[in-house]
Chain A
Amino acid sequence: MADPDYVIVGSGINALVCAALLGRQGKRVLLVERNDRIGGCIRSEEITAPGYVHDVMATTFVLFITSPAYAALAADLGRHGLEFCHTDHPSGVLLPDGRSAVISMKRVANGAALDQLASGDGAQHLADVGGVERNAPLLFALLGGQLWSWPTAKLLAQEAWRRGPRQLARFFGEALTPARTWLEANYQSDVAQALWAPWVLHTGLGPESAYSAQMAKVIAFALEAAGAPIVKGGGQKLLDAFAALIAETGGEIRTGADVVSVLAGSGGVARGVQLADGSEIIAKSGVICSVTPTQLYERLLQSFDKPQGLADEVRNYRYGKGNFQLHYALKAKPRWLSPGLDKVALLHLTPGLDGVSKAANEAERGMLPEVPTICVGQPHALDPSRCPEGAAILWLQLPEAPRHIKGDAAGKIAVPADGAWSEAVREAYADRVEAILAHHITDFASIKLARRAYSPADLQAMNVNLVGGDPYGGFCGLDQSFLWRPFKSSVNHRTFIRNVYHIGASTHPGAGLGGGSGFMLAQALR
Chain B
Amino acid sequence: MNYDAIIVGSGHNGLAAAVHLARQGWKVGVFERNKVAGGAVQTREVTLPGFRHDLFAMNLGLFAGSPFMRAHGEALTRHGLAFAGAGDCFATPFADGSWFGVSMDKEKNIARAQSFSAKDAEAWRNLSDRFGRDAPHIFALLGSPMPSRDLLPLGWKAWRAQGAAWIIDTLKLLVSSPRAFLDQTFDSEKIKATLAAWGLHLDFAPDIAGGALFPYLEAMADQSFGMALGKGGADVMIKALTSYLKELGGEIHLDAEVLRIDRSAGRATGVTLADGRQFQATRAVIANALPQAVFGRLLDGGSGDAETDRRMKAFRPGPGTMMIHVACDGLPDWTAGDELKRFAYLHLAPSLDMMSRVYHEALAGLLPAEPVVVVGQPTAIDSSRAPDGKHILWLQVRVLPAEIRGDGKSEITGTDWDQNKEAYADRVLAILETYAPGFGAKILGRAVFSPIDLERENPNLLGGDNLGGSHHLSQNFLFRPAPGWSRYKTPVPGLYLVGASTWPGAGVGAGSGFMLAKMLSK
Contacts and interface: CB of A to CB of B under 8 A. Distances in A.
A357 interface: yes
B441 interface: no
In this complex, the member of A169, A174, A209 whose beta carbon has the largest number of chain B beta carbons within 10 angstroms is A169
Given A176-B474, A185-B314, A316-B184, A210 B483 contact: no
Contacts of B122: none
A479 B165 contact: no
B1 interface: no
Contacts of B208: 208-210
B363 A210 contact: no
Given A357-B363, A364-B207, A210 B175 contact: yes
Given A358-B364, A478-B175, A488-B172, A208 B205 contact: yes
Interface in B302-320: 314, 316
B363 A354 contact: yes
A284 interface: no
Interface in A5-38: none
Interface in A138-196: 165-167, 169-178, 180-181, 185
Given A180-B363, A210-B472, A488-B169, A169 B316 contact: no
Nearest to A206: B207
In this complex, the member of A171, A364, A489 whose beta carbon has the largest number of chain B beta carbons within 10 angstroms is A364
B357 A365 contact: yes
Interface in A301-320: 312, 315-316, 318
Interface string A371-413: 0000000000000000000000000000000000010000000
Contacts of B438: none
A365 B207 CA distance: 10
A483 B479 contact: no
Given A169-B484, A210-B473, A478-B175, A181 B364 contact: no
Nearest to B165: A489
A173 B472 contact: no
Given A169-B484, A208-B363, A210-B175, A177 B183 contact: no
A170 B364 contact: no
B176 interface: yes
Interface in A478-492: 478-480, 483-484, 488-489
Main secondary structure of the interface of A (DSSP, over half): helix
B474 A210 contact: yes
A175 to B, nearest CB: 8
Given A169-B484, A172-B483, A354-B365, A209 B474 contact: no
Interface in B141-175: 147, 165, 168-169, 171-172, 175
Contacts of B205: 208
Given A208-B363, A479-B175, A169 B472 contact: no
A111 interface: no
A169 B478 contact: yes
Contact of A176 (B314, B359, B479): B479
Contacts of B364: 354, 357-358
30 contacts: A169-B478, A169-B479, A169-B486, A171-B483, A172-B479, A175-B474, A176-B479, A177-B474, A181-B474, A185-B316, A206-B207, A209-B209, A210-B209, A315-B184, A316-B183, A318-B180, A354-B365, A361-B359, A364-B207, A477-B180, A478-B209, A478-B473, A479-B172, A479-B175, A479-B176, A479-B177, A483-B171, A484-B172, A488-B165, A488-B169
Given A185-B314, A477-B180, 5 more contacts: A175-B474, A206-B207, A210-B474, A312-B184, A475-B180
List 6 A-B pairs, minimum CB-CB distance, nearest first: A173-B483, A166-B484, A173-B479, A170-B483, A210-B209, A316-B184
Interface of A: 165-167, 169-178, 180-181, 185, 206, 208-211, 312, 315-316, 318, 354, 357-358, 361, 364-366, 406, 475, 477-480, 483-484, 488-489
